[in-house]
Amino acid sequence: MIAYDFMYMQPDTLRQARENFLRLSESGQNPVYYAGGSEIITMCRAGDIRPGAVIDIKNIDACQALSLDEDWLRLGAACTLNRIKESGLFPLLGLVCGRIADHTNQCRITLGGNLCGSIIYRETSLPLLLADAKLILYGARGRRALALKSVFDGRMRLQPDELIVEAQVPLWALNAPYYHMKKTANEKIDYPLLSVAALLYEDQLRVACSGLADRPLRSKQVEVALNRRALSPGTVAAKATALLAEQARDSVEGSAAYRLFVLENTLRSLVEDWHDEKI
Ligand SMILES: Cc1cc2nc3c(=O)[nH]c(=O)nc-3n(C[C@H](O)[C@H](O)[C@H](O)COP(=O)(O)OP(=O)(O)OC[C@H]3O[C@@H](n4cnc5c(N)ncnc54)[C@H](O)[C@@H]3O)c2cc1C
């Protein structure tokens, strides 16, 4: 139960959503954009946040896009993980979505909510970073298209009144060979101890991970190390892991040293599979 009254709004357009956001902010209502609500409701119940108004974006058509055009796969920010998975359009993202939470929550959690949430894992960012996806944002300057990596450094950098409308994924990424491994500390359905995603582009491995550090990571240096085909999988995995050593975090689920151990083994098996043409 949320033990206080708050306002609920469900606008039909981006303009209405933002106008409501600005008006409610000016009157001190501390509004938030609301998508699946899984994080907002949990945080309200725990007393971590206390918005006076929530602006539900699920009725906005632009946020529900799920279609292919000539150049891009368009994924609305309010698409649920399950809808993305069931569409089968971007297999790597579908696999990652299918390994976040359980089926019930996958039918609720949205792409935008996962990217913007405060919980550090944001696993849907991994395939999008690997694919060089773009985001369409809506804010003071209307719609703007930006490379994901220019507004996401492991967490979203939005203006307070700005929202994600959709992600756009270039078509090459939809059919590219891919790999994903998620290890949890205890239960199968849990936050990741380590989640590693890879995509092959022009015979080069692209790799990103979540769980190792306090935010998702994609590192060019790591990719350069992994793509040295003259070296053995064990050697490149050790070199790539050493590059991330300082960023590994300790938590009750696993020490930094253990996370690095899992990472090195995962990278070695990924590179072995790649050399053996299994991915
Ligand atoms: C049981 C369970 C297990 C989970 N396990 C994992 C896991 O292993 N890995 C993982 O990555 N995630 C996991 N999650 C998901 C994650 O922790 C968040 O709960 C979820 O991503 C929030 O999505 P939502 O759509 O419910 O967002 P909401 O709760 O609606 O919103 C979350 C935040 O995002 C903002 N927001 C939402 N949409 C937009 C938008 N379009 N533009 C701007 N801001 C927006 C909101 O204002 C709010 O600040 C799990 C969640 C649950 C419930």
pLDDT at 197 (0 to 100): 98
Q: What is the pLDDT of residues 245-265, one digit of tens each?
A: 999 999 999 999 999 999 999
Do 200 and 274 contact (CB within 8 A), yes or no? yes
Same-domain pairing of 184 and 255: yes
Residue 52 located in a structural domain? yes
174: confidence class by pLDDT, cuts 50, 70, 90:
very high
* Whether residues 163 and 193 fall in one domain: no
pLDDT of residue 4: 87
CA of 11 to the centre of ligand 1 (A): 20
Mind listing the pLDDT tens digit for each residue in 4-20? 899 999 999 999 999 99
The model's confidence at residue 113, banded by pLDDT at 50, 70 and 90, is very high
* Top mutation candidate among 33, 43, 103 for ligand 1, by most atoms within 8 Å of CB: 33
Q: How far is the CA of 234 from the centre of ligand 1 (A)?
A: 36
Is residue 2, in this structure, part of any structural domain at all?
A: no
pLDDT digits (tens, 9 = 90+) for 187-201: 888 999 999 999 999
For residue 159, how far is its CA from the centre of ligand 1 (angstroms)?
Answer: 18
For residue 1, is it within any domain?
no
Ligand 1 proximal residues by C-beta, below 6 Å: 32-40, 57, 77, 100-101, 105, 109-110, 112-114, 116-117, 119, 121-123, 158, 163-164, 191-192
Residues 161 and 97 in one domain: yes
Q: What is the pLDDT of residues 38-86, one digit of tens each?
A: 999 999 999 999 999 999 999 999 999 999 999 999 999 999 999 999 9
- Do 113 and 65 sit in the same domain of this protein? yes
Same domain for 184 and 101: no
Residue 133 confidence (pLDDT): 98
Residue identifier of the C-alpha nearest atom 52 of ligand 1: 101
Domain co-membership, 98 together with 135:
yes
Query: What band does 37 get if pLDDT is binned at 50, 70 and 90?
Result: very high
pLDDT at position 35: 98
Residue nearest to atom 4 of ligand 1 (CA): 101
Q: How far is the CA of 168 from the centre of ligand 1 (A)?
A: 19
* Residue closest by Cα to atom 5 of ligand 1: 101
How far, in Å, is the centroid of ligand 1 from the Cα of 114? 4
- The DSSP result for the chain, as a single string, is ---S--EEE--SSHHHHHHHHHHHHHTT--EEEESS-HHHHHHHHHTS---SEEEE-TT-GGGG-EEE-SSEEEEETT-BHHHHHHH-SSHHHHHHHTTSS-HHHHTT-BHHHHHH-SSS--TTHHHHHHTT-EEEEEETTEEEEEEHHHHBSSSB---TT-EEEEEEEEGGGGSS-EEEEEE-SSSSSSS-SEEEEEEEETTEEEEEEESSSSS-EE-HHHHHHHT-TTS-HHHHHHHHHHHHGGG---BTTB-HHHHHHHHHHHHHHHHHHHHTT--
Q: Is the predicted pLDDT of residue 93 greater than 80, yes or no?
A: yes
Q: Whose CA is nearest to atom 27 of ligand 1?
A: 113
Domain with 152 in it: 61-173
Is the entire prediction scored with pTM above 0.95? yes
Same domain? 167 vs 112:
yes
Is the pLDDT score of 227 beyond 90? Answer: yes
Distance of CA 52 to the CA centre of its chain: 27
